[in-house]
Amino acid sequence: MQRKQASAGQWTGLQVIHPQAAGLDIGSEEIWAAAPPASSAEPVRAFGTLTPDLQALADWLVACGVDTVAMESTGVYWIPVYEILEARGLQPHVVNARHIKNVPGRKTDIQDCQWIQGLHSVGLLRGSFRPEGEIVALRAYLRHRAALIEHRAAHIQHMQKALQQMNVQLTQVVTDITGVTGQAIMRAIVAGQREPQQLAALRQPGCKKSAQEIAKALTGHYRAEHLFALKQALALYDFYSEQIVACDVEIEQQFANLKPIDDDLPPLPPPSKPNSHSKNAPNFDARAHLYRITGVDLVAITGLNESTVQTIIAEIGTDMSHFPTEKHFCSWLGLAPHNDISGGKRLRSRTLPTNNRAGQAFRLAAQAVSRSLDSAFGGFYRRMKARLGPKQAIVATAHKIARAFYHVLKHRTPFHDMGGEEYERRARERELKNLEKRAAKLGCVVVKNPAAEALVGSF
């Protein structure tokens, strides 16, 4: 048996793609920069992190003829460096630290910045996605608003704890203590009211529990220290609520600053989900602003509301050309499966860990449609749950919603939900076709039972 001879081609090494590339190792108090070796007599220099130091860094990079810069995403220290370099006409790239640390042995900041410069010059580093400047500002406001909501949630727990310590079982008779009834009762308690019947009279007509049941639950053992804790928790809750309202004013102003996608957009159709309500919804008409800058009603997509859509838009922007296909988009979101293949066999399939806020918004949308009986996404979730379990079904449904979102936003086509019944009918037709193919391979024939078909159609 003759062995095939390999071609005797000589490896020429890695080709330089970015000859004028620089690398930065950014810290809280010091930045080490590496320029191309032939660009300066001192290609590696250290700079401070104050604004004049960053301006000097930009001047030095421009004097060295640098046109692109790679840096690690070290906390938030990279943000002012990125913005100043971008304003000076350079092309900065924030790269994933995991893509740099694969080879051990660099123990100093000088070696780190030189290593980043070398990898970037040969094209081995890829910059992280960052939307346009106006979208970045909107994203900062929305991330700050989400942080305010998280901080406010802690004080809701403090209110619940104070009530529980006084054995005031408000949580057993009211679904949400921050609702109209719960707020009225807690504020009356803080104001000095202790009579259960008087407190129960503050219930709204829509409460499921009767006044007698609420009065019994509000018969508590009041103590001064717990009342003081309840008073302060309620005041902090009110303070954060005021800050959220002020943040919404800034967010609305930022939406108004964004240019509309088209000056001749047709009127926004009536909402397709009029009964939907979100406790943390924005205090302005976010749906109209989103329609103005995208040209399509993204809130109409099943599972999404104003809050989730504005979060997604703030993270990805309105220009979908950054993602060539829906597969690229879902992979960036962390919703696409990552397959480990060896020897032609798939060893493992999973989604990679990520903190992508847009991907988390799609997961929340998947949880919302999991209880929907009249939507195609709800039917898809139930089929995936039966096969894969609830956790994988949430990710698969979020993946499906993200693909629909990509198609609607990129092609500016209105969303249309085929409905749960139509989805089940198509799924059943696919199963029948698959059964017929399998039966044909075995030399069998599938015989339909009209009585059974009528029985299935009645459900």
**18 token code pair:** 């970015």
Give residue-wise pLDDT tens across range 400-454.
999 999 999 999 999 998 888 888 889 888 988 999 899 999 889 888 777 666 5
* pTM of the predicted protein model: 0.85
The answer to whether 166 and 217 are in contact (CB under 8 A) is no
Report how far residue 322's alpha carbon sits from residue 311's, in angstroms, rounded to the nearest whole number: 18
| Residue extents of the structural domains in the chain | 21-121, 135-257, 286-411, 429-457
pLDDT score recorded for residue 52: 95
Give residue-wise pLDDT tens across range 335-350.
988 877 777 787 777 7
Give residue-wise pLDDT tens across range 87-96.
999 999 999 8
* DSSP string for 290-316: HHHHHSS-GGGSTT--HHHHHHHHHHH
Is the model more confident about 250 or about 4?
250
CATH superfamily of 21-121: YqgF/RNase H-like domain (3.30.420.140)
Beta 31-34 vs 44-47: how paired, if at all?
A: antiparallel
**pLDDT of 12 higher than 90:** no
The number of angstroms, rounded, from the C-alpha of 456 to the middle of its chain's C-alpha atoms is 39
**pLDDT of 1 higher than 50:** no
Give residue-wise pLDDT tens across range 145-174.
999 999 999 999 999 999 999 999 999 999
Beta 44-47 vs 91-95: how paired, if at all?
A: unpaired
Could you give the C-alpha distances from 307 to 211, 282, 285, in angstroms and in order? 35, 7, 11
Q: Identify the helix (H) or strand (E) that includes residue 226.
A: helix 224-257
Report how far residue 229's alpha carbon sits from residue 253's, in angstroms, rounded to the nearest whole number: 37
Cα-flanking dihedrals φ and ψ of residue 222, to 5°? -80, 135
- 10 Å CB burial of residue 357 (0-12, 13-18, 19+) is middle
What average pLDDT does this structure show over 28-32?
91
Could you give the C-alpha distances from 395 to 77, 402, 450, in angstroms and in order? 32, 10, 37
